[in-house]
Amino acid sequence: MIRFSHASKRYPGGFDALQDINFHLSPGEMAFLTGHSGAGKSTLLKLIALIERASRGEVIVNGQNLAKIPRRKIPYHRRNVGMIFQDHQLLFDRTVFDNVALPLVISGLSHQDIGRKVRASLDKVGLLSKERSYPITLSGGEQQRVGIARAVVNKPPLLLADEPTGNLDPELSREIMAIFEQFSQVGVSVLIASHDIDLINHLPYRILTLKNARLSNDTAPASVENQKW
Amino acid sequence: MVNWVQTYLLRHLQVFFYSLGQLTRSPFSLFMTSAVIGIALALPTGLHLVLKNMQTISGDLDSAVQISLFLKKSTTDSQARQLASQLRGMPQINNIQYISRKQALQEFKRLSGFGNALKALEKNPLPAVIVVQPSLSDSNANSTQRLVEQLQAKPYVDIAQLDMQWIKRLYSIMDIIRRGVVILAGLLALAVLLVIGNTIRLAIQNRRDEIVIIKLIGGTDRFIRRPFLYTGFWYGLFGGLIALLLVISSLLLVSGPIEALTQSYDSQFSLKIIDLNSTFWLIGGSILLGLIGSWVAVERHLREIEPT
């Protein structure tokens, strides 16, 4: 689903955010991306979402070499990548329903389809009763779940999450992770950037560790299986 | 396919009314911007309509070419009347009006307001005049000119004057004004473009976060551009309507005095406020300016906003 081959990112001014990154994430696989602040987690996710482009090497997502996607095709690429953000990135002047519906409105779905899919998505994150609320009236955990519902509403094959539990307490964080697990079980690839070592060490998933812009460690899920909480 | 078209049109319709809804949330700023556009457009439109009205007046005058024969002062009243009746028989002449020296003086006193000054004169300074109206059947410039020469040669005639000079002058003045209106309209259209462009630029900046989010979840530039284009459309429409209102009310305000003036000239002229065609061009042009202005602003500023 995602393949990095010798991918590097150098920002103008000579700062190397990522150097010679190699890894492969299979369809339906769930993995964590960890490392200190500034190690390059966010940059790696940005390369996948085409917010940034690799300076060298190849990034292939869903069989497509991202270097070959022209600027005007980027929106169509992003529709296949569900993104979840630490600060949720919700529109506060629109209801929960309208927020979740946005990707479908962009894709030009009919009214009936939108209603059906939005409710299915909100149901998955347990927020069906809040569809008429405005995001500001929701708790942090609920807002994050709205963000997840929006990311998955058009059933992308890949989910990216950048510190999705950054502002949440441990219990809410585990709830959010459980939602991601459900999606990976139905075949969605999930890549979660997180520095919450305590949380991810207790989960039976692959962990990619970035250190000084390089991939320093790639632990298979088997090694942590016995630590399952 | 039909379904897809339906969805597409429905989506446009939604954005169409959504952008109107957004605008009416702050009615005061909507009114301010529209009023600026309206005033800018009302000026050239009003001048254009005044010109149009002047053309109808001068068109009436065009057919009313007349030749004034100023008679020699030594001509007696009976000699003049004799000449008048002789002219009346000519086929090229439609009508004759004889104004004796005495009548001319009286008329001059009545119309000029110099009555008292004229009393100081010992003799009547005015000549007798025969006003000749050429028959309309052959009223082209050449035949009229020939007639003038013919009349000039008649006895007792001092000067035969074709009263067309001032019409020519009026035409050239109107031509100057017309070009002035075109220049003014061009400049003010540019001003409208800038006003709308600036308003849309502010709207884009106010919704920066929203644009970033839409770009992150796969919104195309076209999708993002659409509500701003419709916003420009609405500004154009409201601006055009305000301009129309301003023009109509201004012309109604001056129509009373103008009719009083034209009646004093025995004219059947009545002021035309605005016809359907001009209304169409005003509103259509205003909407077009709105769309162009917002298009330029969106093209310029949308690319600057990218998720980081």
Q: Are residues B213 and B266 in the same domain?
A: yes
Domain that holds residue A203: 26-36+73-227
By DSSP bridging, strand B129-134 and strand B93-99 are antiparallel
- Interface pTM (ipTM) of the complex? 0.89
User: What's the pLDDT score for residue B141?
Assistant: 62
Instruction: Tell whether B74 is covered by a domain.
Output: yes
Could you list the residue range(s) of the whole structural domain that residue B88 is in? 66-163
Q: Tokens representing B189? A: 């259209």
Instruction: Specify if B207 maps to a domain.
Output: yes
Report the Cα–Cα distance between both ends of chain B, in Å, rounded: 37
Chain B hits for A113, Cβ within 8 Å = none
Task: Answer whether residue A115 is part of any domain.
Answer: yes
Residue that terminates a domain, selected from B163, B197, B228? B163
Tally of structural domains, chain B: 2
Q: Is residue A152 part of a domain?
A: yes
Q: In whole angstroms, give the CA distance from residue B288 to residue B308.
A: 35
* Claim to verify: residue B22 and residue B86 sit in the same structural domain: no
pLDDT in tens, A25-59: 999 899 999 988 888 898 999 999 999 999 999 99
Q: Nearest CA of chain B to the CA of A72: how many Å?
A: 8
Helix (H, G, I), strand (E, B) or coil at A5: strand
pTM above 0.95, yes or no: no
What's the CATH code of the domain at B72? 3.30.70.3040
Determine the straight-line distance between the first and last CA of chain A, rounded to whole angstroms.
Answer: 28
Joined together, the tokens standing for residue A56 give: 């060298």
Q: Does an H or E element contain B295, and which?
A: helix B276-302
Residue A133's CATH number = 3.40.50.300
HSE (CB half, 13 Å, CA atoms) of B240? 20
Please give the DSSP secondary-structure letter assigned to residue A22.
E
pLDDT at A227: 46
Interchain pair B8, A108: CB under 8 A: yes
Q: How high is the pLDDT of residue A181?
A: 92
Give pLDDT, residue A81. Answer: 94
- Give B279's Cβ-side CA count (13 Å radius): 11
CA distance A183 to A180: 5
B202 plus B287 within the same structural domain: yes
User: Are residues B152 and B187 located together in one domain of the fold?
Assistant: no
Question: DSSP for B127-170?
Answer: PPEEEEEE-GGG-SHHHHHHHHHHHHTSTTEEEEEETTHHHHHH
- The residue with tokens 């001319």 is B104
pLDDT at B58: 66
Q: Does B216 touch chain A (CB under 8 A)?
A: yes
Chain A residue with CA closest to B6: the answer is: A110
pLDDT digits (tens, 9 = 90+) for A170-181: 888 888 899 999
pLDDT, position B231:
94
How far, CA to CA in Å, does B227 sit from each of A16, B11, B126, B135, B293? Answer: 39, 11, 74, 64, 14
List residues of A whose CB lies inside 8 A of any B CB.
49, 51, 72, 75-79, 83, 89-91, 102-103, 105-111, 150-151
Whether A212 maps to a domain, the answer reads yes
* pLDDT at position A228 over 50: no
Same domain, B216 and B297: yes
In a domain, A21, yes or no: no
* B97 and B148 assigned to the same domain: yes
Q: Distance between CA B39 and CA B31 in Å, rounded?
A: 12
Residue with tokens 């010992």: B122
Residue finishing a domain among B128, B163, B198: B163
Instruction: Count residue pairs from A and B with Cβ separation < 8 A.
Output: 55
Would residue A134 count as lying in a domain?
yes
Say yes or no for a CB contact (<8 Å) between B306 and A78.
no
Domain count, chain A: 1
Whether residue A124 is predicted with pLDDT greater than 50 in this model: the reply is yes
Tell me if A102 and B217 make a contact (CB, 8 A cut-off). yes
Nearest chain B residue to A75 by CA distance is: B218
Q: Which of A51, A78, A91 sits opposite B218 (nearest CB)?
A: A78
Q: Is residue A211 in some structural domain?
A: yes
Same domain, B245 and B126: no
Contact B11 A105 (CB under 8 A): yes
- The answer to whether residue B308 sits within a structural domain is no
Residues B101 and B183 in one domain: no
Please say which residue of B163, B187, B211 terminates a domain.
Answer: B163
What are the tens digits of pLDDT across the range A61-117?
A: 999 999 999 999 999 999 999 999 888 899 998 999 999 999 999 988 888 889 999
pLDDT tens digits, B57-112? 766 665 567 788 888 888 888 888 888 888 888 887 878 888 888 888 887 777 77
Specify if B307 maps to a domain. Answer: no
Q: How far is A170 from chain B (nearest CA, A)?
A: 27
- The answer to whether residue B248 sits within a structural domain is yes
Question: What is the Cα–Cα distance from B138 to B149, expressed in whole angstroms?
Answer: 16
pLDDT value at residue B70: 87
Residue bearing tokens 């709207």: B203
Q: Which long-range contacts (CB under 8 A, 24 or more apart) does B108-113 make?
A: none
Asked whether the beta carbons of B204 and B297 are under 8 A apart, the reply is yes
* The pairing of beta strand B93-99 with beta strand A64-65: unpaired
Q: Is residue A177 part of a domain?
A: yes
Q: Which residue has the tokens 């075109």?
A: B182
Round to whole Å and give the CA distance between A121 and B174.
70
Same domain, B55 and B85: no
User: Does residue B152 form part of some domain?
Assistant: yes
Q: What is the predicted pLDDT for the residue at B137?
A: 55
Q: What pLDDT shows up at residue B50?
A: 85
Q: Which of A51, A72, A89 sits opposite B213 (nearest CB)?
A: A89
Tokens 């009263």, residue located: B163
Q: For chain B, which residues score pLDDT lower than 70?
A: 1-2, 58-64, 115, 136-141, 164-165, 167, 266-268
Give yes or no: residues B136 and B74 share one domain.
yes
- Say if residues A152 and A159 touch (Cβ distance below 8 Å): yes
Q: Which of residues 177-196 of B touch A (CB under 8 A)?
A: none
**Residue A16 within any structural domain of the chain:** no
Interchain proximity B217–A105, CB inside 8 Å: no
Q: Would an 8 Å CB–CB cutoff place B215 in contact with chain A? A: yes
Residues B114 and B159 in one domain: yes
Q: Are residues B210 and B274 in the same domain?
A: yes
- How does DSSP classify residue A51? S
